[in-house]
Structure 1
Amino acid sequence: MRESPLNKYAAVFTLSFWSAIAHAQDFTADQSRQPPSVEEGRSAWALQVTPYLWAAGLKGNISPFKHAPTMAVDKSFSDVIDDLNVGGFINVWGRRDRFVFSADVMYVNTSDAYGKGPLPAFQLPGFGSPIPPGSNLKARIDSKQLTATLQGGYRVVDTPAFTLDVLGGARFWHISTDISVTASHPAIGVQTARHNEKFDWIDPLVGVRAFLPVTESLSFQVQADAGGFGAGGSRTWSTLATVNYVFSDRLSASAGYKALDVDYDHGGHVYDIRLRGPVLGLTYRF
């Protein structure tokens, strides 16, 4: 029996979280003194690691391979889960004095099967000639997406009631697609081909992050960025809003909503996608 994709999704989250805790325990065990006081903390590193689940649906247009016809994609989170092989999301946030940095990494591996036909003529790499109009196609698409957002910045407002960080950095995209197609038509008979393509690009970013404590345990956080600016044929933006609850000095949880949009059209590749949905994270501080 095929393992549930949801179980794989949760397993990645669990393993990421406990490996983060193990690393944090190793870090503190190597220190020759206790954690810094509040006064010392202003000049010491403050670090936190947050594995999270993102129940994102996606909508947009993609080309499965270079110069291919653009395909419309519209999937709910349940559809994404059905196609998911493995996925993982993790965020690292750090601060020293008023200088801040963040790293957010997302990896998703999916498989999707299509039975389409008839379709217009087009050339698939691996076929000796264009697929004739009216051909019946069966296709399987395996895709991998790695997105890493790295930002650094400065805390321009630092008060007990409110903090505001201005950020700058870059978002790295890597897309890998493996497509297998069987085409049937009286003019060509039945032909099968397989093709793999990889492409990547980097988007410069500017952003902000605001943090608003409500009580000692409850707080709100909003983060947004925008970038691309046409560099490499791309535009991108993202937003994240969460409510956070602190359980202890080390552990807190967050729940909210996240959206990520990218519009890439360059060199025959089209990747115009918006992902959005609720998020749930567990943070370990050290």
Structure 2
Amino acid sequence: MKRFGFAAILALCVSHASHAADVVTAPSEEIVPVTEAVPGWALQITPYMWAAGLKGNISPFRRAPTIGVEKPFSDVMDELNIGGFVNLWARYDRFVFSGDIMYVSTTDSRTSGPLPPLPIPVPIGTVVNGSVDSTQFTATLQGGYRIIDNTAFSLDVLVGARAWHISNDVTVSALGASRTYGESFGWVDPVVGARAFLPFTEKLSVMAQADIGGFGAGSELTWSVLGTVNYAFTDTLSVSAGYKVLDVDYRHGGHVFDVQLSGPVLGATWRF
């Protein structure tokens, strides 16, 4: 059986907005009192990083044995081929919309265990090389409403869905011959959540966000928690740093993906 290579680098950051704006995951804004707020669109784009380690149990191929995986961030980085992460946020008056996309491709060349047979007989003692290419795509889309909005504190309630797509390809080779076998699976989880924002000064703020979902519709359970400290350099640019945990327990059709990713986050936000 192989060790499932996985990487995720995710962070959410916030830009300081001088006129009723915030970021989907790490907003940094000067909140305008409700009585003075003028309806209008605000948009923010956040490329981010997440130095996440991985721990859990997986069975990346249908009806394959379930194996335990525990990888620190350094191992994740060694296996990373490419990763892309972006967070989008929009607001109109008290209505909010957030989108978060994560794409990660990894290769684990330390594969061991039962492997697909080669197209030729392999003598006993022959060295067989194996590698596993893994791709994960995760997209979270949520809409919501700001139920508290004043100069000292804001609170949003959110509802939406988190989509997952996992793809794995194992390649074994020996004596100049090779064979590749691949599988992919995916699901969609409903999620509900909340986000709170607390400014200390015009430039410094903190943000906390959490959601929970799954409920057997896709995974058995999924949840995430994020906390950041944010600093605004200008009205259009800010940075944030914090910590994030993402957990999911999916078991269906012979596939198991029960993992938790956790680690520090760092990002930068541009506001338009």
For this structure pair, what is the TM-score category when the shorter chain's length is used for normalisation?
A: 0.7 to 0.9
- Give structure 1 stretches of 5+ with no counterpart: 1-8, 14-36, 129-134, 184-188
Please point out which of 89, 92, 98 is paired with 2:94. Answer: 98
Between 1 and 2, higher relative CO (CA 8 Å, sep ≥ 6) is seen in 2
Deviations 1:36-55 (A, max 9, x none): x9999631011111111111
- Give structure 2 stretches of 5+ with no counterpart: 1-7, 12-31, 120-125
Q: Which residue of 2 aligns with 1:71?
A: 67
Asked if structure 1 preserves the Cα contact closer than 8 Å seen for 2:142 and 2:158, the reply is: yes
How far did residue 138 of structure 1 move?
A: 4.2
Q: Give SS of 2:109's match.
A: strand
How far did residue 234 of structure 1 move?
A: 3.3
Asked if structure 2 preserves the Cα contact closer than 8 Å seen for 1:149 and 1:170, the reply is: yes
* Structure number with bigger Rg: 1
1:1-286 matched pairs, under 5 angstroms: 42-116=38-112, 119=113, 138-181=129-172, 193-286=179-272
Asked if structure 2 preserves the Cα contact closer than 8 Å seen for 1:61 and 1:71, the reply is: yes
Please state which structure has a larger fraction of its residues in helix: 1
How far did residue 232 of structure 1 move?
A: 2.9
Deviations 1:75-127 (A, max 9, x none): 111111100001121111111111111001111100001253xx5xx6x6667
State the one-letter code of the partner of 1:167.
L
How far did residue 207 of structure 1 move?
A: 0.2
Normalising by structure 2, we get a TM-score of: 0.80
Q: Distance in 2 between matches of 1:86 and 1:44?
A: 37
Deviations 1:189-208 (A, max 9, x none): 99853211111110000000
Deviations 1:148-168 (A, max 9, x none): 000000001001100000000
Q: Give SS of 2:76's match.
A: helix
Q: Give SS of 1:160's match.
A: coil
State the one-letter code of the partner of 1:243.
V
Q: Give SS of 1:253's match.
A: strand
Matched residue pairs, number? Answer: 240
Q: Which runs of 4+ in 1 moved over 4 A?
A: 37-41, 124-128, 135-138, 189-192
How far did residue 70 of structure 1 move?
A: 1.1
Q: Distance in 1 between matches of 2:111 and 2:208?
A: 42
Percent of aligned positions with the same letter in both sequences? 60
Q: Distance in 1 between matches of 2:173 and 2:252?
A: 27
Q: Distance in 1 between matches of 2:235 and 2:107?
A: 41
Asked if structure 1 preserves the Cα contact closer than 8 Å seen for 2:246 and 2:262, the reply is: yes
Q: Distance in 1 between matches of 2:220 and 2:118?
A: 30
State the one-letter code of the partner of 1:91.
N
Normalising by structure 1, we get a TM-score of: 0.76
Shift of the 268–90 alpha-carbon distance from structure 1 to 2, 3 Å rule, reads same
